[in-house]
Amino acid sequence: MGYTACEWDIFISYARADDVAVASEKGWVERLYEELSKLLPQQLGGGNPTIFFDRNSSASNHQLDRLVTAARNAAVFLAIASDSYAGRDWTRKELDAFVAHNRWNDGDETRLFAVECREPENRARFPHPLDNAMARPMWKRLGKTTLPLQPEDREYSDHLYLLVDEIARKLREIRADEGRRAASSAAASMPPTARHSGERSGGRPEGHSERHPKGHGVLLAQVTEDLDDQREQVLAYLAQYEIPVLAAEGYPQGGDAFRAAFAADLERADLFVQLLGGRTGRKPRDLPEGYTQFQAAAAAAKGIEIMQWRSPELRLDAITDAGHRALLGGEHVIADSLEGFKAAVRKAQARKAASPAEARRSTSSSFVFIDAAEDDLEAARLIAEELKRESFGAALPILEGPPTELRADLEENIINCRALIVVYGQTTPLWVRGHLRLYNKLKESRTEPPRVLELWIEPPEDKKDHDFWLSELKRIRVSAPLSKQSLQPLIEALAE
């Protein structure tokens, strides 16, 4: 008996052309099958999944019937996606049989896995729903062509272990669902007095939800294939700190199904995290803007806090797609090391998950944050000295260090200060507008409204206005050079 109730736990579907043996060695697909056979039992805690892998190269209707029957009765379908796969009639029939007749729940397309042994010329040629699947690229580039990764390649092992982990998680999910259904069927056959005891199988109270509660969850966006490894790293990091992640197992592909699943998670999340790379991502027929753009736009429309990452080595001028280039250069994008970004996400989520009492304890009522650009840092220091003489606590911005850490420190200061002073001296109107926008976004995370003051330092007297106003913002004009006398209006405003 296999791991799940299905006849086959995994059905491997491939074109014979992709399993050609080299130098009397085993074929590429056969070696992948053997690696899965060895590694999956370890990942499943000793469970022995049944894997259907057909070595027979003969062509007959009898064989096709056997393949279709096996695909129909599989829990998970693994396609070796390639141009050869797209052009084969048998592989299409295997996929159709799995989609039409297997034991999916509500069209759960996350039971479909795909591996590319070569870079396809046109993924749109793949039969549906393989054309929307997030295929794992197990190939390397050699000149103008691509070759399958080999077991001796480090990238092969990386992709293999991630694939094993993904399939094992899905098999565990399927078996757990089968157990719940069996318990539900057993409960339905009980007398009414036994069924209404207020407990479900497993001791959970009636009505208990196994999903994350509303809020305090990170919605980790679906990524393009080149960022699968980075997403797995973020997922593992957040799990290490027991931070709930929505969409950890992925989304069903295709416009309507994807929209519905993503919208449901967006309702329960309070932080949207998206990893961005050079690829624009796939654009299915019923989601013409593509998965990447849709997720970012939906999160922005919801008003949820957004944290996006891209590699600092990514050159924006090399991105030909204008929409994707604009997304990569957006105000929420942090170009930093992945390690720094992960730490920033953890800090942001910890702040959001804190109870109101914890938030109040962490909020200091005694310090004033003086937000200043590098051009105005000397003025900020003079202001801080004067505030200290007046018995105010003061904090200045840190302007050197990893971008992610600088951003996190800036946000913490804005959230936890008693009063915020935005210095407009030698800096530009754009800098002031950007920092006022940041405050406006973060103010909902505060436990009490702050006093927000803009210190407008003159000269020059013809300084351009930034034309950004908030109801709580008070502008105080002072003259340079700064002194105790010229800063008196600021001190009085803080004391009100």
What's the pLDDT tens digit per position in 188-225?
554 443 333 333 223 333 333 333 344 568 999 999 88
Query: Do the beta carbons of residue 382 and residue 413 sit within 8 Å?
Result: no
Record the tokens describing residue 364, joined without a space.
Answer: 């200091």
| CATH classification code of 359-495 | 3.40.50.2300
Q: What percent of the chain has pLDDT over 90?
A: 27
Report the distance separating Cα 292 and Cα 354, nearest Å: 30
Main-chain phi, psi angles of 137, to 5 degrees: -80, 95
* CATH superfamily, with its number, for domain 8-170: Toll/interleukin-1 receptor homology (TIR) domain (3.40.50.10140)
Regarding pTM above 0.85, the answer is no
Report the distance separating Cα 252 and Cα 234, nearest Å: 21
Instruction: Calculate Rg over the CA atoms of the chain.
Output: 29
Segment holding 259, helix H or strand E: helix 255-268
Of the candidates 37, 99, 25, the one whose C-alpha atom is nearest the C-alpha of residue 68 is: 99
Question: DSSP secondary-structure letter at 4?
Answer: S
CATH 3.40.50.10140 fits 211-353, yes or no: yes
Record the tokens describing residue 325, joined without a space.
Answer: 């280039």
Other Cβ atoms less than 10 A from the Cβ of 120: the count is 20
What's the pLDDT tens digit per position in 11-38?
999 998 888 766 557 889 999 999 999 9
What's the pLDDT tens digit per position in 414-428?
988 889 999 999 999
Q: Residue count of the chain, please give it.
A: 496
> Which residues on neighbouring strands pair with residue 473, listed in sequence order?
452
Instruction: List all residues 6 or more positions away from 197 whose beta carbon is below 8 Å from its beta carbon.
Output: none
Record the tokens describing residue 29, joined without a space.
Answer: 């697909």
**Shared fold status for 211-353 and 359-495:** yes
Determine which of 49-58, 279-288, 355-364, 476-485 has the lowest per-residue pLDDT on average. 355-364
Each domain of the chain, given as residue ranges in start order, spans: 8-170, 211-353, 359-495
Using omega within 30 degrees of 0 as the cis cutoff, is the peptide bond preceding 481 cis?
A: yes
Residue 248: per-residue pLDDT:
61
Query: Do the beta carbons of residue 315 and residue 286 sit within 8 Å?
Result: no
Instruction: List all residues 6 or more positions away from 233 whose beta carbon is below 8 Å from its beta carbon.
Output: 338, 342
